Amino acid sequence: MNLPTHPLRTFGAWEGSPQKPFVIAGPCSAESLEQVLETARALKQEGHTQLFRAGVWKPRTRPGQFEGAGYDALSWLQTMRQEVGLPFVIEVANADHVEKALAVQADAVWIGARTTVNPFYVQEIAEALKGSGIPVLVKNPIHADLGLWLGAFERLEKMGLTDLAAVHRGFFSSYSAPYRNEPKWELSFELRRQAPDIPIICDPSHIAGQRDLIEQVSQVAMDIQMDGLMVEVHPIPEEALSDAAQQITPQRLGQILATLEANAPKNLALQEAIDQEREKLDQVDQQMVELLRSRMDIVQALGEMKAQHGASIFQMDRWFDLLQKRGSQAEALHLNKAFVEELFQLVHKYSVEHQMGVYTASRKHRDE
């Protein structure tokens, strides 16, 4: 098989900056040749897009909705590349998708969140891509599991694939409002720490879930120095056959990118003032850790008392009382009640765990 040359390489890999992010844009789904061409021409005219994205196979959470045009859409993307001049990227979820993507010389592929979560699927895709040299984007798994995300890159690297980038598209959560997917920006920080050579591109469309939040999410992504944006764009977003609520027009994308560029020097000027405030935060954080140490000393004493008298570690009434009191205190101080309750759930979890250790050690010592 003759492997294609990938125009994406001429872009200098994936790196971008807050002033000029690497931009991937296009419709959630390729719906028709006319829609693909209209979108691509508008993006080309705006002048920011470096890689055209479009879903070809779109299995939905529940059947009966538009699930992509399938193989026919690949020829539309080839025509778009020839006529408009934009390289394109598509999602692949299995070896058959990979075979078809390589056959039409796709310029890049991405692995979706529901695929990244399954190592069997990722391994199958990595093996199918072996020897192709094609650039690959890997979206974070739907749940906040950094190991699965890193594991996907490791599987691809073992197959000789080196042009890799991460796509931060947010994580499923029952409490993700106002967003569709909870950003959990800290996961991208940890990915950067553990894999510093992998560029990170933000997908504000899937994080936001609604078009009026895309600029806000994009700004945060640039503020934390992500390398680029992957945005869903449609000529008439309201009429899109999939994910209509989170798509924007090519013109709106141009406006957002112009705003991000204009904000970049302003944000740099603010950095000194921000650093000063962060010093104050560091002092408060230090005090919080010291208070947690004091709290754990009390937990230790309670564990020893319970072990001595054979009392139960977990006491349901105390747990409900703690949640009620701290929740009420949060409301009185105009803090987010859910935030404080979630914080104390974590504190209580590790307090019980510590008492269990104290209890077990004490009982074992007595038995000896």
2 band by pLDDT with thresholds 50, 70 and 90: very low
For the residues 307-325, what does the mean pLDDT come to?
A: 86
Task: Compute how many other C-beta atoms are within 10 angstroms of the C-beta atom of residue 271.
Answer: 9
More confident residue, 361 or 152: 152
Grouping H, G, I as helix, E, B as strand and the rest as coil, residue 200 is strand
pLDDT per residue over 177-216, tens digit each? Answer: 789 999 999 999 999 999 999 999 999 999 999 999 999 9
Helices (H), ranges, 159-249? 185-194, 204-208, 214-223
The region that residue 106 occupies, defined by phi over 0 for left and psi between -120 and 50 for alpha, beta otherwise, is: beta
> Helix crossing, 71-84 with 95-103: angle to 10°?
30
Report which residue type is found at 316: M
Q: Where are the domains of the chain?
A: 7-248, 275-367
Tokens of 126: 């990595």
% of the chain residues with pLDDT over 70: 90
Query: Which helix (H) or strand (E) covers residue 232, if one does?
Result: strand 228-232
Please tell me what DSSP assigns to residue 55: B
Q: What is the pLDDT of residue 346?
A: 92
Tokens of 231: 């945005």
Q: What is the pLDDT of residue 1?
A: 28
- Is 213:231 a contact under the CB 8 Å cutoff? no
Angstrom distance (rounded) from CA 73 to CA 62: 22
Angstrom distance (rounded) from CA 38 to CA 276: 48
Q: What is the pLDDT of residue 141?
A: 97
pLDDT per residue over 213-252, tens digit each? Answer: 999 999 999 989 899 999 999 999 999 999 999 999 999 9
The answer to whether 7-248 and 275-367 have equal CATH topology is no
Q: What is the pLDDT of residue 272?
A: 75
7 has a pLDDT exceeding 70: no
For the residues 241-269, what does the mean pLDDT come to?
A: 89
Class in CATH terms, 275-367: mainly alpha
Angstrom distance (rounded) from CA 126 to CA 115: 12
Q: What angle do CA 13, 19, 25 make, to 5 degrees?
A: 60
Across all residues in the chain, what is the average pLDDT? 90
For the residues 260-283, what does the mean pLDDT come to?
A: 80
6 has a pLDDT exceeding 50: no
Q: What is the pLDDT of residue 93?
A: 96
Q: What are phi and psi of 206, to 5 degrees?
A: -80, -30
Tokens of 302: 């309670």
Q: What is the largest CA-CA distance in the chain?
A: 82
pLDDT per residue over 67-97, tens digit each? Answer: 788 999 999 999 999 999 999 999 999 999 9
pLDDT per residue over 41-56, tens digit each? Answer: 999 999 999 999 999 9
More confident residue, 301 or 264: 301
**What CATH topology corresponds to 7-248?**
TIM Barrel (3.20.20)
More confident residue, 361 or 295: 295
